[in-house]
């Protein structure tokens, strides 16, 4: 089992190039199932979740290869409709193949998904919305058996709550449905915008009609095109916070700063100095960190995927801070490990109270989910002494070459076996 060894108390200095977005790549990869031609994708991150999705597409009959850093997906002979538990169990996004398979074939058998243990994240919203397009479904022994006897028929759908995954699944499915679909109360994360941009590039007819409403006119086929996936804003946010935690000086490259206004403004309020250029964010950490009350919320609010990381920074603030987790009900699993390092964090329901002025102490640690894993790295970077982080397979699901990127900016971190 691989572990990370971190020797802390170094300030990070230099430049980090941000990889393509995992959370944008996954729905785009799933949506390529709509096609019966070739699709070429650039800027996919080399992380485990992408590898798993590629394996899932291949199991469904997609022919996939890398050619000069481009992923070439050929679906001219793709004809399978069964997504196995073995491939979906580690990745929440596996459910996103349901929409395109139903749109293309009118039938799918897809395992209920797995992923991080950060809450129930039910697929009910996906299934109820798909049923309005004409889908009939049963859940049998952990699999969704879904059929669309008359094909998918466009209609008006309002999501009962804002859901990124359900919004993605319905956008993909409705792109080949007969007639017009309107989706309201949609999630508006940048990764959804990237999915829509991809689908428009390959010939779909999608447009925003209000802030959270979409109009989708179904098309009969998908064109052969090339598309480049957006940058990973969660990776970028993680390294921005890493600079603030270590009082470092980092240039975060290959980003679109306006997409990260919320995170940038918050880090400025906490005390970091930030300068923005066209595709770069330059951050200098401050020794004095101000306490803050934060709540996670759908975009453009503060992202739940950066909650664990910002908590580490707030441990070093001058006073007590409060974080309210409004997205997932079980996303404070990193707290016990941070407390073992000297933090004083107490949990009451979906609220975490974080006492400031923490001096982190090195420790042996256990990662519990993807973002918790990286929060432990941030704390270890700030702690004196050697920390060991176990179960880093969580980390490899979403961060490309994290130890190599950190090594280049001065971190003493390495991967070990044991």
- 236 — phi, psi (to 5°)? -60, -45
Could you say which of 116, 186, 204, 315 is catalytic? 116
pLDDT in tens, 28-81: 999 999 999 999 999 999 999 999 999 999 999 999 998 877 999 999 999 999
pLDDT in tens, 121-135: 568 999 999 999 999
Annotated active-site residue 155? The verdict is no
Contact 355, 344 (CB under 8 A): yes
Please tell me which residue, 168 or 114, carries the higher pLDDT value: 168
Q: How far apart are CA 265 and CA 219, in angstroms?
A: 41
Indicate if 74 and 42 belong to the same structural domain: yes
Confidence category of residue 114, pLDDT binned at 50, 70, 90: low
pLDDT in tens, 135-157: 999 999 889 999 999 999 999 99
Indicate if 92 and 210 belong to the same structural domain: yes
Contact 75, 35 (CB under 8 A): yes
Which of 36, 160, 273, 159 shows the shortest CA–CA distance to 170?
159
pLDDT value for 329: 72
Structural domain boundaries, residue 62: 22-228
Last residue of a domain, one of 190, 206, 228: 228
Q: Which of 132-136, 218-222, 287-291, 326-330 has the lowest mean pLDDT?
A: 326-330
DSSP 260: G
Report percent pLDDT > 70 for the chain.
Answer: 98
Confidence category of residue 370, pLDDT binned at 50, 70, 90: confident
pLDDT value for 116: 40
CATH of the domain at 79: 3.65.10.10
| pLDDT (mean) for 256-272 | 98
Reading the block at residue 209, the tokens are 């009609």
Last residue of a domain, one of 211, 228, 245: 228
Report percent pLDDT > 90 for the chain.
Answer: 88
Q: How far apart are CA 45 and CA 5, in angstroms?
A: 24
Confidence category of residue 372, pLDDT binned at 50, 70, 90: confident
Last residue of a domain, one of 164, 198, 228: 228
């Amino acid at each position: 089992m691989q572990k990370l060894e971190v020797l802390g108390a170094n300030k990070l200095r230099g430049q980090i190039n941000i990889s393509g977005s995992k959370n944008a790549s996954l729905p785009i990869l799933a949506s390529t199932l709509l096609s019966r031609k070739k699709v070429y994708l650039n800027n996919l991150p080399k992380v485990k979740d992408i590898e798993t999705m590629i394996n899932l597409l291949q199991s469904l009959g997609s022919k996939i290869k890398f050619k000069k850093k481009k992923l070439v997906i050929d679906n001219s002979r793709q004809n399978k409709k069964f997504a196995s538990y073995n491939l979906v169990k580690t990745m929440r996004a596996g459910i996103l193949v349901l929409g395109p398979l139903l749109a293309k074939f009118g039938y799918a058998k897809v395992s209920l998904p797995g992923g991080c243990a950060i809450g129930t994240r039910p697929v009910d919203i996906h299934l109820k919305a798909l049923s309005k397009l004409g889908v009939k479904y049963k859940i049998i022994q952990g699999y969704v058996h879904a059929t669309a006897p008359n094909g998918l028929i466009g209609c008006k759908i309002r999501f009962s709550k804002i859901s990124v995954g359900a919004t993605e699944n319905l956008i993909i499915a409705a792109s080949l449905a007969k007639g017009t679909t309107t989706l309201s109360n949609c999630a508006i994360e940048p990764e959804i915008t990237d999915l829509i941009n991809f689908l428009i590039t390959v010939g779909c007819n999608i447009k925003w009609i209000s802030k959270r409403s979409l109009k989708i006119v179904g098309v009969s086929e998908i064109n052969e095109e090339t598309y480049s996936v957006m940058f990973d804003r969660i990776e970028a946010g993680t390294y921005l916070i890493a600079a603030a935690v270590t009082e470092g000086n980092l240039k975060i490259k290959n980003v679109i700063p306006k997409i990260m206004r919320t995170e940038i403004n918050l880090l400025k309020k906490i005390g970091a100095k930030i300068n923005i250029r066209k595709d770069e964010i330059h951050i200098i950490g401050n020794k004095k960190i101000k306490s803050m009350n934060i709540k996670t919320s759908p975009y453009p609010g503060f992202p739940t995927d950066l909650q664990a990381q910002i908590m580490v920074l707030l441990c070093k603030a001058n006073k007590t801070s409060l974080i309210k987790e409004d997205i997932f009900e079980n996303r404070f699993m990193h707290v016990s490990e941070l407390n073992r390092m000297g933090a004083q964090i107490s949990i009451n329901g979906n609220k975490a109270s974080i006492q400031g002025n923490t001096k982190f102490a090195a420790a042996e640690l256990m990662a519990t989910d993807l973002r918790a894993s990286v929060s432990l790295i941030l704390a270890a970077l700030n702690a004196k002494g050697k920390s060991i982080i176990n179960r880093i397979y969580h980390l490899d699901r979403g961060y490309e070459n994290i130890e190599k990127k950190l090594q280049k900016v001065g971190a003493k971190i390495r991967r070990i076996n044991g």
